[in-house]
Structure 1
Amino acid sequence: MTRLVLPGLRLVLGAALGAVTAVTALVALVATVPVIVLGRTPPLGVLVRAERWRLAALLGVGDLGEYDLRRGVAYLAARCPVGLLGGVVIFLGGYGAVSAIGVLVAWISGGRPDGMAPTWPIVLYLTVAAAVLLFLDLAGLVAVGALERGAARRFLGPDERQLMRRRIAELSASRAGIVAAVDAERRRIERDLHDGLQQRLVALGMLIGRARRNGSQDLLGQAHDESRRALEELRDIAWRVYPAALDELGLHDALATVAERSPVPVRIHYDLPERPVHAVETAAYFTVREAVTNAAKHAGAARIDVSIAGHGTMVVVRITDDGTGGADPGGGGLAGLARRVAALDGRFTVSSPAGGPTVIEAELPCG
């Protein structure tokens, strides 16, 4: 109920304030006609700023461009009819409500307003009429809100130059983030090879040398075990760098391998009608793998649910765990995933309140 009441109250308040600013803007524009005729921008900055605040706070118009007084004045002129229409709609709704309350009070006190007795046909007729008028008034308010948002996007939204600058900034940040992520991955691989596999190979060489000198079967057995562990570690490093199953068998089978290797039970729901393109498939795979690894290592989760589904032109990847929550979206692993998704013009979100659950979602365009 609250989800309907609060937006409705904001819409009513926004339309009421819009009617006030429409009247004010109309008077101000008429008063500054000589300035406009001379080709100058009238000094209406206060009204433009007030309108931007009203649109953002009460009508939910968030994607406004940079402040531009000239475009703002054009918006004020264009929206005056809409603002006045909103005032008329609110007036009619208020007048109808006051009239209905007056009739009810008169009937309760024993009166007969306009000679109408409270008989059942009259009550039924007035109830139906009031319901229809209320519906029409609410529909008018919704339409006024839609017209307000459309005018704001047309006159106050970012223009092509601003959109181009924003896009260039996003691409520059994405490129820098990808370079940083690649460098970090290279450092991690070097650390795994140096601290893990290299040490095993050194120990293996020493064991083989001692076995050759002493002819010990026990040392040869230890060397054989050490070579097996080194091979397993090498396979594990190669799997973390890039799994061959992703290219050979596809995303579903590669994720099944992630589930098998996870110490926490992982349930996978895969609902894609066809195999996505390689870049999307790779991003989806690494998103799931990183999220599953984090949930197993840091969240203390007992179960992880993975969903891969198609919604229109998007592949939506959702990972949910029942752990302790508190995941940091700016941490190394999640930040790297956000950069990988952003490089594909996707959207990456993390919801991880204290106490859980943690929900990681990536929307990847597959077109």
Structure 2
Amino acid sequence: MVGDRPVSSRPLRIAVGVALGILTAGVGATFLAVTAVAGCLVGAVPPARRRLRATIRRYASTLVRYERRRLARFHDVELPSATVAGWREVGYLAVRLLPGALALLAYGLLAVGAVLASIVLLATVRGDLGVTDALVQVVVGAALFLVNVQAVASVGALDVRLARRLLGPSRRELLEDRVRELVVSRAGVIAAVDAERQRIERDLHDGLQQRLVALGMLLGRARRSRDVARTAELLAQAHRDVQQAVVELREVAWRVYPSALEDAGLGQVLELVAQGSDVPVRVRCDLPARPAGQVETVLYFVACEALTNAAKHAAATLVTVEIGAGEGLVRMTVHDDGVGGADPAGRGLSGLARRVGALDGRLRVDSPAGGPTTVLVELPCG
């Protein structure tokens, strides 16, 4: 798939896009010719010249807007509309005359080839052309047809390259956008770390600390007891509490960093998490190689948060975790059959989104009211 369109339809869409580019290039040539004539007529009148410039820029923006739609629809090229304005758009319309002319030439040769093929076919049917000569003509025609198809594809590639170069953001704008993204992601990571520290502090204070206080009181009672049986009972209860405290401490440590990832792969660790889940979980991990440690860690935390939400809030009966790789990305999908309504702006999911963004990844949550809920994570693994 390319976006939401099947790959098999892409060559046909490119051919249609190149054909439409001939028409838009013709419109652009007409616009530039009228502009040149109008400029010569009113060049000596400053007020009229200023109005003409404003009109030229307005209509050039309109034509370029249609070019953006054509490129997006037939060439899968999305170009931001706010980076280009004014005479740069007029320059793009002038440069677009080259791929338009080349496309016209390619399709013209294709039409000539179709006419010649029909002539050869008619001559073969009438018997004016021998079988050997007909086969030679077919081979030559097929070779020329393939060359012509490649020419159309090359014109489409040239059209896309010119559009990205002239309509897309400049190198400086890209660097500025990247700096802004890094500043935002750095602030997000700091906020996520602070939120995680607060969460750990609450877990220690409300859970483990209270249990240790109760354990100390229990041991004090056992120490003061004169009844041997009562003392043994209190010590047995203290032993159980110590074991539970160790379990809680291990859970808190895993929230800080899942040390099991150092020895086992992500799939195995998530299988262990699934065994302790209150909701049935199916894990399918199909990775050709282990990704980087930070990638595994982020995927682990996202999966754990999604499982927790499914168990506590979604009333789910089944959660499916699927992990795969392709096109330089690791993709994880967590799907549950619960009631939905998950808030991507909530504390847990927003913190995970910042974690994912810090690695140049993307987290998307689809959770309509009534369910189901799907969490998709994509992280670069190159």
Same fold per TM (> 0.5)? Answer: yes
Match of 2:293 among 267, 270, 278: 278
Deviates more, 1:210-219 or 1:142-151: 142-151
Gaps of 5+ in 2: 44-49, 109-124, 127-141, 143-147
Partner of 1:69: 86
Any idea what SS the aligned residue of 1:274 has? Answer: coil
Alignment partner of 1:299: what SS?
coil
Matched, 1:304 2:319: yes
Q: Deviations over 1:42-76 (max 9, x none)?
A: 55311332134213444324323613323222212
Question: Aligned runs of 1:162-241 on 2, under 5 Å?
Answer: 162-215=173-226, 216-217=230-231, 218-241=233-256
Deviation at 1:170, TM superposition (A): 0.6
1:92-143, CA deviations, whole angstroms, 9 ceiling, x for partnerless residues?
xxxxxxxxxxxxxxxxxxxxxxxxxxxxx99xxxxxxxxx9xxxx9999988
Distance 1:160 1:49 in 2: 22
Aligned residue among 159, 163, 167 for 1:156: 167
1:336 to 337, 348, 351: 351
Cα distance between partner residues in 2 of 1:290 and 1:192: 16
Q: For residues 319 and 242 of structure 2, what CA distance do their matches in structure 1 show?
A: 34
Q: Aligned pair 1:243/2:266, yes or no? A: no
1:27 — aligned with what?
34
Answer whether contact 1:25 1:80 (CA < 8 A) is retained.
no
1:108 matched residue in structure 2: none
Residues in 1 aligned to 2:61 and 2:377: alpha-carbon distance in whole angstroms: 36
SS across alignment from 1:330: coil
Checking the alignment, whether the CA contact within 8 Å between 2:211 and 2:245 is kept in structure 1 is yes
**Corresponding residue of 2:331:** 316
- Structure 1 length as normaliser, TM-score? 0.75
Deviation at 1:208, TM superposition (A): 1.6
**Alignment partner, residue 294 of structure 1:** 309
The percent of aligned pairs where both chains have the same amino acid is 49
**Equivalent AA in structure 1 for residue 381 of structure 2:** C
Secondary structure of 2:332 counterpart: strand
Structure 1 CA distance for aligned equivalents of residues 22 and 317 of structure 2: 50
In the alignment, the residues of structure 1 paired with residue 243 and residue 100 of structure 2 have an alpha-carbon distance, to the nearest angstrom, of 77
What is the CA–CA distance in structure 1 between the aligned matches of 2:328 and 2:157, rounded to whole Å?
Answer: 26
Do the aligned partners of residues 192 and 29 (structure 1) sit closer, same or farther apart at CA in structure 2, a change above 3 Å counting?
farther
Alpha-carbon separation, structure 2, partners of 1:50 and 1:83: 18
Q: 1:269-289: per-residue Cα shift (whole Å, max 9, x none)?
A: 122222222112212222222
* TM superposition shift of 1:205: 1.3
Partner of 1:59, secondary structure, is helix
